[in-house]
Amino acid sequence: MVRFGADILNLFRRSGEIVSVCAVPDGGVLPSFLHGSGWVFDGKVADIANLLPAAERSTFREVLRETGYYVFVPA
């Protein structure tokens, strides 16, 4: 289970026609798709809410808690 609060998220970015970002809690297990080509480490942040489209801001923590990662297209 993923904890929240002061946890840091590692961001991984995939460029292309549509830019995608994957947030993974620091120290968490990386999803296998991040080991493929195209994904690059893009830094660490304390929160991603300001990067998300408004409609996703209230649900991303639940998805992150359940899956261990969250993939989104930055707002």
pTM score > 0.85 for this model? no
What is the model's pLDDT at position 32? 94
What is the model's pLDDT at position 55? 85
Reported as a single tens digit per residue, the pLDDT across 13-70 is 998 888 999 999 999 999 999 998 899 999 999 988 888 888 888 888 889 989 999 9
Q: Using the predicted structure, report yes or no on whether residue 5 has a pLDDT greater than 70.
A: no
Residue 3's pLDDT band (boundaries 50, 70, 90)? Answer: very low
Q: What are phi and psi of 45, to 5 degrees?
A: -140, 160
